[in-house]
Amino acid sequence: MLKANTQYLVFSNGEKKIFQKYFPGYQVHIWQDSKDYQGKVAIIRDVRSVISSYVNMNQVSIADSFGIASRWNEYIDSINHSNIIRFEDLILDKNHSSYHVDNWFDNLNFNQNKQIWNISGVTLSKNNYLRYCSYPLDASLKFNSKDILNKYHIDGLKFKVPSSLRKGSLQRVEADSVKSGKVILEHIKARMGNINYEDIDILDYGCGVKFTQSIIQFGIKVKSYTGIDLDNDMIDYLSREVEAPNMSYYEVNFQNDMYNPGEDVKMNSETSLPTNKKFDLMICQSVFTHLDKDDFENLLVILRKNTKVDTNLFFTCFIDNIMKDNWKDANPKNPLVRIFYKEEYVRSILDKTGWDIVSYNRRSRQFLVGDNFLCKPK
């Protein structure tokens, strides 16, 4: 990716030191000192990492360093016509495992990250930094949420759910939440080769209400739909109010720091689903994003017990490949709100628990899903 006979342009003298720390021996020019960008390749590092390194090197506060973000935006704008390489791509390509020392993800807290995003998020998005971002996951210049949701028209909701029982980023706008369920179900269907849901027994683990509402609203024909969740009040409501005979709901009850912190019983590999049914499709939408690493593995083992030979498992998670550890709670003040994994670690756990990966896709604003895996039993 880097070439010995190429001249590289970096943001500042501090960035030159960082670049030479990991990639010594290349010709490096500093943006402020060189207004002639012809023939130079610009190295862009995530502005949050730039600020993090600046704070570490100069021992100043994050707040005092926010001015760097504006100058970084100016740097990116000024070299837009030049060749660009993302610094983090170089790190991944060379497998520099020590980069966490200088990576924002291991040095900034959630609120600091959010503040810097508010200053430079648009520029980050322009340069495809969503793949390295934990906040916000829904930013994109290419796909607008409203445009995607407005493909589907709703003239009155056929099945309403009290606001206290709705979850997810769209919970406040019920119609949008229902539409998003349709978008995601269509995406999963396409990933499986445009199968007919009418022939499919679906398990929705960590079900919430969105897919139930979407199935009813849009008349999606399914062979059967089984929803399982920790929320007893929600499960009671769905069991009582959903009249379709092919739709059923079950509660599970185990400790989870986000959704069920007061429970003493932990999930384990001996746990079973509250039904003996075998499923054609298992969906875990925004479930592993809120599980610690032990429960991540345990749930994969539990789900494996209720599979058919050709069952598909679709699940989302948050992937970050340049953080220090295999697993990290990105906002520990609010436990399990946003859990990140390294892709290699997820692959190893899937292999260990008896799953083969059919496909892995990065997060997609177009389909309203996070980083996601489609798997089959080994």
> What is the arithmetic mean of pLDDT over 301-310?
97
CATH assignment at residue 175 = 3.40.50.150
137 has pLDDT over 70: no
Please check the confidence at residue 142 and state whether its pLDDT lies above 70: no
Could you give the angle at the alpha carbon of 370 between the alpha carbons of 242 and 162, nearest 5°?
30
Considering the domain architecture, whether residues 296 and 181 belong to the same structural domain is answered as yes
Whether 22 and 93 share a structural domain? yes
Residue 26 is assigned to a structural domain of this protein: yes
Rounded to an integer, the average pLDDT of 165-173 is: 87
Residues 6+ apart with CB under 8 A from 127: 44, 76, 84, 86
Please state the rounded mean pLDDT for residues 160-181: 92
In tens, the pLDDT along 57-94 reads 777 777 777 788 888 988 888 887 778 899 999 998 89
Q: Are 313 and 301 in contact (CB under 8 A)?
A: no
Q: Decide which of 180 and 338 is more confident.
A: 180
Q: Is the pLDDT of residue 115 over 90?
A: no
Residue in the block written with tokens 């292999």: 351
- Range of 49-53, 308-312, 320-324 with top mean pLDDT: 308-312
Owner of token pair 């495992």: 97
Q: Are 65 and 1 in contact (CB under 8 A)?
A: no
Percentage of the chain beyond pLDDT 90 is 61
For position 148, what pLDDT does the model report? 87
pLDDT at 172 (0 to 100): 87
- Whether 139 is covered by a domain: the verdict is no
User: Which of 108, 132, 156 is the last residue before a domain boundary?
Assistant: 132
What percent of the chain is predicted at pLDDT more than 70?
A: 95
Q: Tell me, what's the pLDDT at 141? A: 42
pTM for the full model? 0.82
Tens-digit pLDDT profile for residues 39-57:
889 999 999 999 988 887 7
**At 143, is the pLDDT very low, low, confident or very high (cuts 50, 70, 90)?**
low
Domain that holds residue 274: 145-377
My answer on whether 242 and 126 are in the same domain is no
Same domain for 180 and 313, yes or no, is yes
pLDDT of residue 138: 41
| Boundary residue ending a domain (80, 106, 132) | 132
Range from 126-130, 185-189, 251-255 carrying the lowest mean pLDDT? 126-130
Domain annotation covers residue 138 = no
pLDDT of residue 287: 96
User: Distance between CA atoms of 106 and 219, rounded to whole angstroms?
Assistant: 46
Per-residue confidence (pLDDT) for residue 132, from 0 to 100: 67
What are the tens digits of pLDDT across the range 188-241? 999 999 999 999 999 999 999 999 999 999 999 999 999 999 999 999 999 999
Is 69 a member of any domain?
yes
pLDDT above 80: residue 134? no
Q: Is 129 a residue whose pLDDT tops 80?
A: no
Residue 30: which H helix or E strand, with range? strand 27-30
Co-location of 115 and 185 in the same domain: no
User: Encoding tokens for residue 82?
Assistant: 């030049």
Mean pLDDT estimate for the chain: 89
Mean pLDDT across 140-152: 73
Q: What number of other Cβ atoms are within 10 A of residue 199's Cβ?
A: 10
Report residue 38's pLDDT band, with 50, 70 and 90 as the boundaries. confident
What confidence tier does 136 reach under pLDDT thresholds 50, 70, 90?
A: very low
